[in-house]
Structure 1
Amino acid sequence: MDPSQGTVAVIGAGTIGLSWAALFAAHGRTVRVQDPRPDVGPEVVAAVRHHTRLQPRAGDPEELLTRIAVVADVEAAVTGADVVQENAPERLPLKQELFARIEAAAPERALIASSTSALMPSDLAREMRTPERLVVGHPFNPPEVLPLVEVVPGERTAPWAVEAAVAFYRSVGRKPVVLHREIGGFVANRLQSTLFRECVWLVSQGVVSAAELDEIVTESIGVRWATAGPFESFHLGGGPGGMRHFLEHLGPGMARRWKVVEQPELDEATVELVSNQVEERFAGRTYEQLTEARDRAQLAVIRARDAARDGEG
């Protein structure tokens, strides 16, 4: 498979699938979209127009739409495909049934990837005749904006499938990272879930409001971690002595705090408190307005960061 060309089947056209379809088309792929909903066609059009508004270099939306076909069934979508990106609901029996249909109709060496954020690839492939070609290709939402794709091989995934997945995602402008082993939640979601637990606890205890907490994050660790991850940041935080100095001198205090991890309950009162604060803050703005503003800001951060890194060379 040449990762720079070919046909991609997008199975499941919710938020993630629509985003994938627009991205793949913008990178010159022929895309076939399959979803049981009858209104998928107009949603594909809207997704492509959203993508080209955000990233004008992606091309003319009408041209991109000529590369995308909405098809009626899974078999029609995957026949002759080089890559299959599955985005069905997070129900293991449903996905296993889909993969049985996909592997029966797709070419023998077609890469099969799942966007799942919760299910293990070994479980997804358990009933497959060709489990060696299945990987998890978990994007961060939305995949047309955020570069990360976590590539997670299962117990029986072949090395060629991992290599093909990495090459494919790089060819559509993503940043794939291969996990060394399966783990629940993978990596990025485990990190944000842990941080969000602390966010909910701080708001529930009246330490800060939800809006204030967002400001604290975006004006501190959000900027820091967008340009240098936690390990690099703490390495620099250790001064000339680096990570070793940091861990020796500041690590003990951090380790003491690790032993006291507050566990907020998502009971009715907490759900109401957090939800009311967030809903009041964004009242009067539609979901579409909020997501477009978010996507434009995130793209601007990524471009500025990448430009700064290029300048270092």
Structure 2
Amino acid sequence: MQSTGLRYFLEVARSGSIADASVRLNVAGSAISRQIAKLERELGVELFERRPRGMVPSAAGEVLAAHARRTTLDAERVITDIRELQGPHRGFVRLASYEGFAVDILPEAIAKFRREYPGVRFHLWVGSSIEIVRLIHDGEADIGTTFNYAPPRGVKIEQIIRRPMHALIPRHHPLAGHMSVTMAETLPYAVALPDKDRTQRHLIDTAFAMQGLTIDPVLSTNSISALRRFADAEGCIHFSSAIRVPGRVEVGEYIAIPVSDDVMTDSVLQILTMEGRVLPAVVQTFLNQLLTDISITHQK
């Protein structure tokens, strides 16, 4: 349901070279070159900049790539809609999320959805906001969730929700009785933090830097799950933007206490889809449930 030339062109745009596209498509490189040359003749423009280390789409190539991605996804949507006529409540939803949301929210949301639509399958990819936006932009994921990231053109923000940061303080910790804390107040104590390439860490480092301070965590890691397990074993402070009820909240052996520094109160969750894309029915239905559940939770 998509021309051979467009399929070959899009794979070269994705992989960055005819050789890599040839391997992924299992098609001779010469055949791919001929199809791209044919497209360039028909359009009267060069679609790629040929560089020593590969091929990069030109301005015209970027426009065509965006069209080709939407065409591919529209074709997949049509096929999905036809298959759903043969059996109700079937389909496949591809999610991309940062780890905190993937651990705290999405498993429950997926399980809830599958109770009503047991024939629907899901794939959940977890990574950084930059990678999530790329997957949405390129049509490799249907719904993305990012944290404090400004998406580029080609990505639609379905919803923005403020998620103020909380410090998770052990129940018997000297700070456990506070109604709110500043980042400076946590400085004398053991703290576990995400790696410096994580958005939460950027916020934390910025909050300290604004006061001329720096923090030296006892553990830093790119795994939120490992961080939480370590904090439980060590009994140290860590941070979360996943607390669903604003204010002071009891969370297991911790007290979740709002962080009062300005930069830490401005964090936001963003739900993303591809701009201009008509989502398959099953994806749109799950998106509607997710947006509704998040809105209800944050109105409490």
Give yes or no for TM over 0.5: no
More strand by share: 2
TM normalised by structure 1 equals 0.23
Structure with greater proportional helix content: 1
Largest Rg, 1 or 2: 2
TM-score by length of 2: 0.24
